[in-house]
Amino acid sequence: MASITLRDVRKSYGNAHVIKGVDIDIQDGEFCVFVGPSGCGKSTLLRMIAGLEDITSGSLAIGDTVVNDLPPAQRGVAMVFQSYAIFPHMTVRENVAFGLTIAGASKAEKDAKVAEAARILQMEHLLDRRPSQLSGGQRQRVAIGRAIVRKPEVFLFDEPLSNLDAALRMDMRMEIGKLHQQLGATMIYVTHDQVEAMTLADKIVVLRDGKVMQIGAPMDLYHDPANLFVAGFLGAPSMNFIDVTVKAVNGNSALVFNDALDPVEVSARRGPFRVGDRAILGLRPQYLSIAEGPGKLHGTVALTERLGAETVVEVALRNGKAVIAALSHDAVYPIGSAVDLGFDPAQAHLFQPEE
Amino acid sequence: MASRFTVSNRTGWLMAGPAVLLIAGFVILPFLLAVGLSFTNQRLVSPNPTEFVGLANYNQLLDLALLTVEPLKDDAGQTVLKDGVPEYPPIRSLTRNNPDRPDLNGMREWFSFSSGGDARLVVLARDVVFMKAIVNTFTFVIVVAPVQAGLALCLALLINQRLKGINIFRAIYFMPVVVSIVVVSLLWRLIYDGQSGLLNNLLGTLSFGMIPPIDWLGNPSTALGSIIAMSIWQAVGFHMVIWLSGLQTISPTLYEAAAIEGASKWQVFRYITWPGLRNTAVLILIVITMQAFGLFAQIDVMTNGGPLDSTHTIVFQAIERGYGKQDISGGSTISVILFVIVLSISLIQRWLTREKS
Ligand SMILES: Nc1ncnc2c1ncn2[C@@H]1O[C@H](COP(=O)(O)OP(=O)(O)O)[C@@H](O)[C@H]1O
Ligand SMILES: [Mg+2]
């Protein structure tokens, strides 16, 4: 069984503390995505799991074994690198068979396993080419092929798609998802792209500056972000944040308002909030609508972008701030015209301001 | 729009000018002169006019002949034995004024071997010293190229680690390279000294006096070997640096991928490091070969070609003839021969190490 457990894992380079105490539980067979902005320590964390970096303190277990001091080869992991790391002087066949060659497998065994990997990745026709004759997407397939022939219990991917162009990225993303279903292995996938995280993950770990901000299923994180960072990081266009003042607190909900916002009662579960506090109201652009009658937010149209099925409207609020509304229909709103925006208070999030 | 910098031909030539002039004056012109002079009897200073002599110089240097020599027979037709071995007539008596073989006139024995029966096969050369020079030069190249390249690679692998103070070792290994080869040769003459040299003292001490002092440079069987050892030591640091630069072009993620697949140290070298060093290896092999063919300074300082011609080399011969004996045409001919040898060898090396597709 290849569950993975991290307990208070830390990593420092001298005085630079890169991973600052991380606890993560990954179940056997789960697809777990580490997501966060560039430089937050995702790769470092993944390389610690692979055994390419020492763990400064804390414990890392794969299955029931603590593997802190095991070399990479004995951890039963395979890794796919952002730069592919395929061997330039070997053919695709030799590259895919590399792990088996190292283990001293027979030619027949190698041929069979390479053929199977090639079938899964649909690259039978590439086997006798050299890496220099392959496109980026094909190279990434070879790297994945090399990872799957050894049937590892854990796959580690470090931004495998970030060197590919947008269209190819979407194809490969779907293929990696399919691969996970076929193989049923535990996978950890590092990316800074929230779309990849949302679409692929069973479990998302949002990282920032070497700390875990939130762990959960994609929809839980989307609909119930624990803090401003997660709320702003997931979803596109990103969530609108509006400074508000708390007018009244009523058990689990709070009444908030500002110059451009009529008082509205929203959930206060990310509190505590007290009357008179400043707070931040988070509204996803997709849940804002142009109100027919009097709405809750008052402003004027600053910009519209018509995308066909969707219209993105930037509204300058009465207090000078701007919000974005993503409407799921095509419509024209003249710039400068007054609009009122409405929303369902159940879809609004109230956060404490960050220091 | 074409930039002024890419079309400004005159500026380009002006900038390349000094280098072009120097190369023309000191490389191309002398080379053409050497080819021309090798077909004449030009001497450094001579009252006689220069004459065209065709291939005579080449013939003088390269002429070889094979001679079968029968043992001496006594009047009864029996082979004359001396100390149990057959006695042979002196070679001179067969080459000088031999009416059957006028072509052998002036040739000397290079080496001989038995041809099964009593008869001996003698290889004659018109210029035995030059033949020895060719053999010595090739011996030098064949030993130095692989040993120096291999040693340099080992050093580079050792030094290509992130350890504290590794730069001190890099500097130490590179140090002999920056010292002039003439100075190095002078120093090593002291080390190799037959009486109180460092090497003899060291060997004597280590073996508790069991190894008697050896006159390393004065003994025909050790002189060339000693020069080979010193030459390898002197330039190994230079090639180490080239290997090192090759090692650093190999992407670290390849090593990480290999570590995850569980490759041993040897497998990492075999599957990643060595294939990644291919181009560096070709470069180093060609550079060492070229340098080794040019062997001169060590000989000039340490042995002057001796003892018993055992350390003559092609370049040493060219210079000794051209300036020592004032035989410019002979020296030029040797240079042209060396050029042809080096050119053919590098073409063969290029062909052998070509990228197979
Ligand atoms: N060898 C190292 N020495 C010092 N700092 C490092 C080293 N490797 C990474 N870091 C730092 O650790 C942080 C996290 O890096 P990384 O894990 O690569 O981020 P990312 O989330 O973009 O993959 C970065 O700020 C980086 O500068
Ligand atoms: Mg990274």
Q: Which of A52, A89, A101 shows the shortest C-beta gap to B256?
A: A52
Range A330-351 average pLDDT: 90
Question: B87 and B80 in contact (C-beta within 8 Å)?
Answer: yes
A280 lines ligand 1 (CB under 6 A): no
Res A46: pLDDT: 94
Contact A101 B271 (CB under 8 A): yes
Range A43-55 average pLDDT: 93
Contact B263 A85 (CB under 8 A): no
Same domain, A44 and A185: yes
- Cα(A100)–Cα(A114) distance, integer angstroms: 9
Q: Which helix (H) or strand (E) holds B31?
A: helix B29-37
Strands B85-86 and A57-62: unpaired
A43 lines ligand 1 (CB under 6 A): yes
Chain A contact for B252, CB < 8 A? no
Chain A contact for B106, CB < 8 A? no
Q: Which of A182, A202, A233 is the last residue of a domain?
A: A233
Tokens of A57: 């303190």
| CATH for A30 | 3.40.50.300
CATH number of the B129-326 domain: 1.10.3720.10
3-state secondary structure of A263: strand
Q: Which ligand is nearest to the CA of A53?
A: 1
Backbone angles phi, psi at A347, to 5 degrees: -95, 10
A11 lines ligand 1 (CB under 6 A): no
Same domain, A215 and A315: no
Give the model's confidence band at A353: pLDDT under 50 very low, under 70 low, under 90 confident, else very high. Answer: confident
Question: A92 and A171 in contact (C-beta within 8 Å)?
Answer: no
Range B330-351 average pLDDT: 89
Of the listed ranges A157-171, A172-186, B43-57, the one predicted with least confidence: B43-57
The closest alpha carbon to A256, from A239, A238, A271, A243, belongs to: A243
Res B39: pLDDT: 87
Same domain, A245 and A229: no
Domain count, chain A: 2
Give the model's confidence band at B3: pLDDT under 50 very low, under 70 low, under 90 confident, else very high. Answer: low
Res B220: pLDDT: 85
Q: Ligand 1, from A44, A49, A212, A213: best to mutate by most atoms within 8 Å of Cβ?
A: A44
| CATH for A289 | 2.40.50.140
Give the model's confidence band at A32: pLDDT under 50 very low, under 70 low, under 90 confident, else very high. Answer: very high
Same domain, A286 and A324: yes
- Cβ neighbours around B350 below 10 Å, total: 11
Question: B156 and B248 in contact (C-beta within 8 Å)?
Answer: no
pLDDT tens column, A265-321: 888 888 788 888 889 999 999 999 988 767 788 899 999 999 888 899 999 988 888
pLDDT at B44 over 90: no
CA A17 / ligand 1 centre spacing (Å): 10
Res B28: pLDDT: 92
- Cα(B162)–Cα(B145) distance, integer angstroms: 29
Nearest CA to ligand 1 atom 18: A43
Same domain, A155 and A132: yes
- Structural domain spans, chain B: 64-125, 129-326
Res A258: pLDDT: 87
pLDDT tens column, B220-232: 888 889 999 999 9
Same domain, A218 and A252: no
CA A158 / ligand 2 centre spacing (Å): 7
Res B5: pLDDT: 59
- Cβ neighbours around B269 below 10 Å, total: 15
Of the listed ranges A141-155, B30-44, B140-154, B235-249, the one predicted with least confidence: B30-44
The closest alpha carbon to A83, from A25, A10, A160, A14, belongs to: A160
Q: To 10 degrees, the CA torsion angle through B99, B100, B105, B109? A: -130
pLDDT at A355 over 80: no
Range B339-344 average pLDDT: 91
Same domain, A164 and A132: yes
Q: Which of A81, A88, A102 shows the shortest C-beta gap to B263?
A: A102
Give the model's confidence band at A98: pLDDT under 50 very low, under 70 low, under 90 confident, else very high. Answer: very high
Res B7: pLDDT: 66
- What's the mean pLDDT when you consider all of chain A? 90
pLDDT tens column, B169-210: 888 888 888 888 898 898 888 888 888 888 888 888 888 877
Domain, as residue range, for A221:
4-233
Question: A136 and A164 in contact (C-beta within 8 Å)?
Answer: yes
Res B1: pLDDT: 52
DSSP summary character for residue A74: G
- Cα(B214)–Cα(A124) distance, integer angstroms: 67
Same domain, A214 and A268: no
Res B341: pLDDT: 92
pLDDT tens column, B287-338: 998 889 988 888 888 888 778 888 889 999 889 888 888 888 888 999 999 9
Q: Which of A233, A258, A287 is the last residue of a domain?
A: A233
ipTM for the complex shown? 0.85
Same domain, A224 and A297: no
The answer, yes or no, to whether the previous bond of B307 is cis (omega within 30 of 0) is yes
How close does chain A come to B161, measured CA to CA in Å? 16
Nearest CA to ligand 1 atom 4: A13
Give the model's confidence band at B218: pLDDT under 50 very low, under 70 low, under 90 confident, else very high. Answer: confident
Q: Which of A167, A198, A233 is the last residue of a domain?
A: A233
Same domain, A186 and A278: no
Q: Ligand 1, from A10, A18, A156: best to mutate by most atoms within 8 Å of Cβ?
A: A18
Contact B256 A79 (CB under 8 A): yes
A44 lines ligand 1 (CB under 6 A): yes
pLDDT at A187 over 70: yes
Q: Which of B256, B263, B264 shows the shortest C-beta gap to A85?
A: B256
pLDDT at A114 over 90: yes
Of the listed ranges A131-135, A324-328, B46-50, B190-194, the one predicted with least confidence: B46-50
Counting residues of chain B whose pLDDT is more than 90, the rounded percentage is 27
- Cα(B97)–Cα(B119) distance, integer angstroms: 22
How close does chain B come to A3, measured CA to CA in Å? 19
Nearest-CA residue of chain A relative to B274? A89
Res B162: pLDDT: 79
Question: B105 and B73 in contact (C-beta within 8 Å)?
Answer: no
Residue with tokens 């040993």: B147
- Chain A residue numbers touching B259 (CB-CB < 8 A): 51-52, 71-73
Contact B276 A89 (CB under 8 A): yes
Restricting to A residues 82-101, those with a Cβ less than 8 Å away from any Cβ of B are: 83, 85-90, 98-99, 101
The closest alpha carbon to B342, from B306, B318, B307, belongs to: B318
Chain A contact for B250, CB < 8 A? no
Residues A144, A147, A153, A158, CA torsion sign: negative
pLDDT tens column, B67-99: 888 777 777 777 777 777 777 878 777 777 777
Same domain, A198 and A244: no
Range A70-98 average pLDDT: 92
